[in-house]
Amino acid sequence: MLAVLAGVIALLAVLNWLPSLSQKDYARRFQNMDEAKKAAGLATALIPAYFPEGISWPPSFIVAQRRPYQALVAEYSDAASERTSLVVIQASSSEVSKQLQRIRFRDISQRTEYLLKGRSAILSVGTCEDTVCSELNWREGDAYYCVLYKSSPFELIKVAESMIR
């Protein structure tokens, strides 16, 4: 039975690997933003110029894909706890954020419109993973942006504003 088990697992692993030979557009992990941006086929990728104190650079986790929709996700860790603290998502569809968010709101206490350098954005504040969380969502041309920070909205707004030059 162990041989059967090993055979099934090996077969699934091979089946999972085979498509990557012919198509590299599917979600993958990347080591740097340039490669990820290129793989996602994005003309522009908004990257924060400001980071709150304690957030380490470069991103601890980068994932990008071209199919089924373009997406680029960068996670930044807190230097002390080494846990993801700031997430920046750029996608070509507004209906996919749930699939791209590793950190999610447990509950939202406040949701309001916010003018982000002349752009209409939605600011949400609540809790996630037992801590205060805030999130900004806005649209820039064909791209949808989402920035989530495990803290109050003041630092989050600074991060989001630093992305728009």
Pairing of strands 71-77, 61-65: antiparallel
Size of the site for another protein (CB under 8 A): 35
- Beta strands 61-65 and 119-128, pairing class: unpaired
**Which residues in 70-129 contact another protein (CB under 8 A)?**
71, 73, 95-96, 98-102, 104
**Residues 6 or more apart whose Cβ sits within 8 Å of residue 143:** 42, 44, 46, 90, 91, 92
Please identify, using beta-carbon distances, which residue of 7 and 58 lies nearer to another protein. Answer: 7
From 9-17, 44-52, 109-117, 132-140, give the range in contact with another protein by CB under 8 A.
9-17
**Least distance from another protein to the Cβ atom of residue 20, Å:** 7
Distance CA 156, CA 69 (A): 26
CA dist 13 and 137 (Å) reads 37
Residues that bind another protein (CB under 8 A): 1, 3-5, 7-9, 12-13, 15-16, 19-20, 22-23, 25-29, 63, 65, 67-69, 71, 73, 95-96, 98-102, 104
